[in-house]
Amino acid sequence: MIALTLSEIATAVGGTLRLDGPETGGGRLTAESLVDGAVHTDSRDVKPGDIFVAKPGEFTDGHLYAPVAADQGAALLIVERELDLPVAQIVVADAVTALGDLATDVIARVRSLGRLKIVGVTGSNGKTTTKNLLRGILERVGPTVAARASFNNEVGAPLTMLEVTEDTRFLVAEMGASAVGEIARLVRMAKPDIGIVLKVGLAHAGEFGGIEATVRAKTEMVTDLEATDVAVLNADDPRVAGMAAATAARIVWFGQGDAPDGAPVVRGTDVRSTARGTTFSLHLASGESRPVTFRVLGEHHVMNALAAAATAEQLGVPIDDIVSALQAVRVAERWRMEVMGGRDDITVINDAYNASPDSMTAALKTLAQIREPGQRTIAVLGEMSELGELSGEEHDRIGLLVVRLNISQLVVVGQGARRMYISAIREGSWDGEATIVDTPDDALELLQSAVKPGDTLLVKSSNSAGLRFLGDRLGELFS
């Protein structure tokens, strides 16, 4: 974080400063003492000079871990109640709100220097991949800050924002939501110069209250953009394309089809997917084009690459730097189409960080596309969570899709995904190719004997189902 005095931090978060902290440098801390350490909500990450935000959680309370943060050298605690600890503290009404307020203040200060450009990324699928691709591209141009993992909510996004310094040239902020108003809140903290909307699908539809509420939530990315800003929109998704009418920003399109207004589209052509990755031709809005050998598995990730390329072009990155950065990426993110295994030509694709109907469909299509003649494919699938009233029919649809894509074997893990299994076995063309087990351990035991040399396995589920760890174990087993 940039250096701020304790007084400036207290003002930014609207809190009360308590200076009963330790003596430092031979003198007691004062309101004008500078703090420039990192900001954390996990006490295990705290290092000397850092700031610890004691955030109450669903299952525990950050205040319980404040002594650990103090012992590890925290310079400041942001708390909701004063603690009997020899550390400077700022007492606030709400620690999460204070975290966002601090991020807002820091971004405003850095932005006033005239150097920082902010990119916001949202969508039902692909946010983390697109963020990672953009980071790889923009780091070639200047100092870049981007979210770790999927830090995209009211806590993770401001933690990322607080990593900027006076030297930061680009901030790539992943902005997720599970309710209307949450993206708008993040946009107010750090209004993007470029706002990307990737796709509107059924991910979290149950939490949002339906697809139309999801559209309203994702539209918040572009609603407050100004005429000097840019909205990067998916021309192939009608719900995203419709957001052009909700923004004053200049529109830049990406996709495989044509733009609604006939404008140029950052496009990918000649897309070919194999077990080694995806090749395509990249065409920028300027008319420049280059072939790309993209080692990230799955042609659905080409859309994420196009969104990243469209954004980078608007930021002045030359096409050769864009292509070089895309080709350097080996895996989109941990547990996202991560290729493992290798023994006896057995391939494990671990894509179980999260799952929605759209991402499940894309992963299964990739599994079918990369199959070589005579090769068996096995889909190990768990529950897709947070679908609300759509859950049953969407699990049914995925079970049917497995059959219609001619996947060789389906292993369903957990009763929450049972309707995938039922739909598959009801399909007349299948007889005995589907199995359901209760736990990941059961699935591992089954697959240890069922997998044959040359098989390709896809492991896919929502995070809550925990199949990403099953994917890791399978990858190790067949490595």
Q: What is the pTM of this model?
A: 0.88
Where do the domains of the chain lie, and which CATH numbers do they carry? 4-97 (3.40.1390.10), 113-328 (3.40.1190.10), 338-477 (3.90.190.20)
Q: How do residues 175-204 score in pLDDT, each as one tens digit?
A: 988 788 999 999 999 999 999 999 998 655
pLDDT at 230 over 60: yes
- How does residue 335 score in pLDDT terms, banded at 50, 70 and 90? confident
Q: What's the confidence (pLDDT) of residue 332?
A: 65
From 461, 147, 437, 155, select the one nearest 335 (Cα to Cα). 461
pLDDT at 428 over 80: no
Cα(157)–Cα(127) distance, integer angstroms: 13
Between the CA of residue 116 and those of 35, 120, 473, what are the distances in Å?
22, 13, 42
- H or E element, residue 121: strand 117-122
pLDDT at 459 over 80: yes
Cα(351)–Cα(336) distance, integer angstroms: 4
Q: How do residues 119-161 score in pLDDT, each as one tens digit?
A: 999 998 889 899 999 999 999 999 999 987 778 899 999 999 9
Q: What's the confidence (pLDDT) of residue 450?
A: 95
Cα(219)–Cα(155) distance, integer angstroms: 21
Mean pLDDT of the chain: 93
Cα(97)–Cα(305) distance, integer angstroms: 34
